[in-house]
């Protein structure tokens, strides 16, 4: 995708442009369906009907019942609700206070776990192997009588590694422990079905599938005990207060529907893009480390690090130079005041800090073209080569 400055956008895992049809739906409902879905009059009832229609679409897309889907402000809030809501409910009702999370979770999960630690909960972290995969037997080793939640994401946002969620849910079921999975990166890209995956809680977000920012949902399997984390209203069946943003919810449902329709086509083209890009990079650059080399991975993401003994460069400089040359990519990990933090995901995979700090994440989407991929690959290689250490050249 080119924007007005002729930039090539390869950062679809950070966010996606708004789909035109989605944009139309939102615009129409912002204008026409302004009623408060909790109001008794006809304006309210119209908004409520639209709300429920779209809840049904989201529920159907993940194989859930309509009553199990609750709208939130996005992936971060859904993850917070799953962890904090579950932890507080369980400590109150059963005294259980132990939570298990994988080492490669998004900060929306990891920072919640750290917060819960400050409230006296015990947190255990599941390690990953060098390709970034959780092994279900590692989870079994951490389970205690006090474990009240296990959280492992569906696919990682930095590397694309798809976790063995079905095998993990077989373990969590064996012990009767609720299982949360963050599917923010997988919805609309690979099948996400709550019963097939065996999850009890799940987080989704609209803006990764060409929908608007600030809207998402949490799936809560019937019977899973969760406290609300926000207080102040009876909306979303006393689970998530706040006036529902019906136009954005309609846009979210439209985005998910369209992403599902395009899913297989996008998967095939992403595979071609990743193969092409990796081919260009490995044939032209020395010391390339592919962080997305696992057999089960989203083809929409390619994370590349460089051997620091070959290069005098960090991701920040790479990203800056790529941007100057018209290619928007990311390091994949959090950026704090302009400097790239070492990635906890790559560190958990056993990479050293210096290597993690050379990382660039390319991510593809429905507007990506093969020409853009080739151009981005050549741009990356020419920048990287200019930072080769003199002893290597």
Ligand X SMILES: Cc1ncc(COP(=O)(O)O)c(C=O)c1O
Minimal distance, residue 58 CB to ligand X, in Å: 14
**Would you state the structure tokens that stand for residue 34, as one six-digit string?**
């302004």
Minimal distance, residue 153 CB to ligand X, in Å: 6
Instruction: Note whether 364 and 274 are within 8 A (CB).
Output: yes
| Interaction of residue 216 with ligand X, rule CB under 6 A | yes
Q: Contacting ligand X (CB under 6 A), which of 90, 172, 205, 379?
A: 205
Instruction: Note whether 173 and 142 are within 8 A (CB).
Output: no
Of 325, 322, 323, 276, give the one whose Cα is nearest residue 302: 276
**184/256 with CB nearer ligand X:** 184
**107/325 with CB nearer ligand X:** 107
- Strands 360-363 and 301-306 turn out to be antiparallel
Q: Contacting ligand X (CB under 6 A), which of 62, 64, 89, 108?
A: 108
**157/343 with CB nearer ligand X:** 157
| Interaction of residue 184 with ligand X, rule CB under 6 A | yes
Strands (E) in the chain, as ranges, are: 8-9, 69-72, 98-102, 122-126, 147-151, 179-182, 201-205, 216-220, 288-290, 301-306, 327-328, 335-336, 339-340, 360-363
Distance CA 81, CA 201 (A): 10
Binding mask 66-105 for ligand X (x = CB under 6 A): --------xxx--x--------------------------
| Interaction of residue 365 with ligand X, rule CB under 6 A | no
Minimal distance, residue 214 CB to ligand X, in Å: 8
Beta carbons within 8 Å of 252's beta carbon, 6+ residues apart: 54, 58, 71, 206, 211, 212, 215, 216, 217
**86/91 with CB nearer ligand X:** 86
| Residue whose beta carbon is closest to ligand X | 75
- 217 by DSSP, 3-state: which? strand
Beta carbons within 8 Å of 189's beta carbon, 6+ residues apart: 155, 259, 263, 266, 267, 298, 300
Distance CA 285, CA 288 (A): 7
Q: Contacting ligand X (CB under 6 A), which of 90, 147, 157, 315?
A: 157
**136/216 with CB nearer ligand X:** 216
Minimal distance, residue 300 CB to ligand X, in Å: 12
| Interaction of residue 106 with ligand X, rule CB under 6 A | yes
The full length of the chain comes to 393
Beta carbons within 8 Å of 391's beta carbon, 6+ residues apart: none
Minimal distance, residue 64 CB to ligand X, in Å: 19
Segment contacting ligand X by CB under 6 A, of 35-43, 53-61, 92-100, 180-188: 180-188
Minimal distance, residue 14 CB to ligand X, in Å: 6
- Strands 147-151 and 98-102 turn out to be parallel
Residues 332-351 that bind ligand X (CB under 6 A): none
Distance CA 345, CA 108 (A): 14
Q: Contacting ligand X (CB under 6 A), which of 153, 253, 255, 322?
A: 153
**108/348 with CB nearer ligand X:** 108
Minimal distance, residue 32 CB to ligand X, in Å: 26
Instruction: Note whether 249 and 54 are within 8 A (CB).
Output: yes
# residues near ligand X by CB under 6 A: 14
Residue identified by tokens 């492992």 is 152
- For the annotated catalytic residues, the residue numbers are 335
**96/366 with CB nearer ligand X:** 366
Residues in the site for ligand X, rule: CB under 6 A? 74-76, 79, 106, 108, 153, 157, 182, 184-185, 205, 207, 216
């Amino acid at each position: 995708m080119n924007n007005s400055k002729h930039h090539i956008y390869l950062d679809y895992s950070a966010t996606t442009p708004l789909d035109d049809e989605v944009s139309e739906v939102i615009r129409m409902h912002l204008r026409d369906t302004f009623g408060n879905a909790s109001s008794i009059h006809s304006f309210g009832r119209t908004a409520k009907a639209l709300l429920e229609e779209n809840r049904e679409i989201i529920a159907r897309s993940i194989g859930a019942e309509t009553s199990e889907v609750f709208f939130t402000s996005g992936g971060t809030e859904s993850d917070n609700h799953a962890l904090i809501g579950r932890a507080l409910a369980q400590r109150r009702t059963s005294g259980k206070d132990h939570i298990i999370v994988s080492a490669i979770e998004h900060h929306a999960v990891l920072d919640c776990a750290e917060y819960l630690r400050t409230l006296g909960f015990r947190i255990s972290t599941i390690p990953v192997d060098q390709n970034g995969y959780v092994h279900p037997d590692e989870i079994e080793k951490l389970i205690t009588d006090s474990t009240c939640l296990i959280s492992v994401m569906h696919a990682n946002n930095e590397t694309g590694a798809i976790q063995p969620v079905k095998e993990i849910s077989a373990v969590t079921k064996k012990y009767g422990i609720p299982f949360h999975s963050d599917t923010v990166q997988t919805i609309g890209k690979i099948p996400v079905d709550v019963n097939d995956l065996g999850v009890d809680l799940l987080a989704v977000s609209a803006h990764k599938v060409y929908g608007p920012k600030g809207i998402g949902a949490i799936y809560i399997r019937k019977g899973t005990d969760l406290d609300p984390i926000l207080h102040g209203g009876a909306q979303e069946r006393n689970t998530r207060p706040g006036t529902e943003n019906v136009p954005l919810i309609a846009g979210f449902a439209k985005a998910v529907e369209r992403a599902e329709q395009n899913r297989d086509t996008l998967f095939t083209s992403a595979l071609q893009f990743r193969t092409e890009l990796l081919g260009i990079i490995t044939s032209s650059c020395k010391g390339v480390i592919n962080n997305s080399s696992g057999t089960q991975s989203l083809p929409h993401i390619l994370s590349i690090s460089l051997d620091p003994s070959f290069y005098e460069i960090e991701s920040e400089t790479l990203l800056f130079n790529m941007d100057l040359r018209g290619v928007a990519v990311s390091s994949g990990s959090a950026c704090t005041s302009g400097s790239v933090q070492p990635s906890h995901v790559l560190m958990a995979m056993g990479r050293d800090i210096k290597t993690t700090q050379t990382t660039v994440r390319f991510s593809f989407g429905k507007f990506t073209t093969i020409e853009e991929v080739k151009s981005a690959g050549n741009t990356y290689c020419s920048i990287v080569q200019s930072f080769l250490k003199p002893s290597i050249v």
